[in-house]
Copies of this chain bind each other. A is one copy, B any other.
Amino acid sequence: MNVLLVYAHPESTSLNGSLRDFTVQRLQAAGHTVQVSDLYAMKWKPVLDADDAPQRDPSQPFHASLDSKRAYADGTQAADIAREQDKLLWADALILQFPMWWFSMPAILKGWFDRVYAYGFAYGVGEHSDSRWGERYGEGKMKGKRAMLLVTTGGWESHYSPRGINGPMDDLLFPIQHGILYYPGFEVVPPFVVYRTSRMDEARYAETTAELGLRLDELWSARPIGFRQQNGGEYEIPALTLKDDIAPDLEGFSAHIR
């Protein structure tokens, strides 16, 4: 299988650098082909702007989504965007590795999605009708592919527990796992999270990589998070609210998981 690892950490000689190398080696040893997009090393441009649609009419106002749509459709996008889209199309699985900064991904990775996820590629795909609202949330160009997050944080696991002060890790990751990965069709397997990174020693590192290794071995067999398909009959269209008889007592992120 083909795996794209998108890696967003500024220092190679770090815990994240070691976990990246471990991940690549483990997947290769199992016979998979791995490409790494090391965003810091690539000096990835994170800011979506008019330069991303170099053929646009500069006398007109820049429109982030419509200019993205035209550039994607015409094949005139910035070359670095097109290259990353090709990697996504090539991949059978995507792994996003990043340190959690301010309860989300580092800016350089956010800007990878802002730019690579073009209109017509990751959103604005498919027709809208009485029974379908585009191809998204379980459909789309990434359908049939899998994705997994590999996240590190300095905080304690209890701080991210169901009643922990930061909010539950699953809820903090919902906008990424559901809103960014499931949206264009990825099946998302549970994240691998390393807490309290400042307290890593050799014994704990050995334990961590042993667990991570198993998770990588199970990348294609693990049960994905059971997000509900938008066009699967459980949502009203076009309101896109859950039908009254679906999880009738639930509200919020958890209502969208079977």
Taking the complex as formed, is A31 at the interface, i.e. its CB lies under 8 A from any CB of chain B?
A: no
Segment among A97-105, A186-194, A211-219 that sits at the interface with chain B: A97-105
Contacts A10-B62, A40-B49, A63-B11; A165 near B251 (Cβ below 8 A)? no
Contact B110 A240 (CB under 8 A): no
Determine the distance from Cα of A163 to Cα of B235 in the docked complex, in whole angstroms: 9
Residues of B within 8 A of A179 (CB): 102-103, 166-167, 172
Copies per complex of this chain? 2
Taking the complex as formed, is A22 at the interface, i.e. its CB lies under 8 A from any CB of chain B?
A: no
Residues of B within 8 A of A111 (CB): 46, 106-108, 111
Taking the complex as formed, is A129 at the interface, i.e. its CB lies under 8 A from any CB of chain B?
A: no
Contact B107 A47 (CB under 8 A): yes
CB distance from A61 to the nearest CB of B (A): 5
Interface residue from B61, B163, B175, B238 paired with A103 (Cβ < 8 Å): B175
Q: Which of A40, A114, A163 has the most CB of B within 10 A?
A: A163
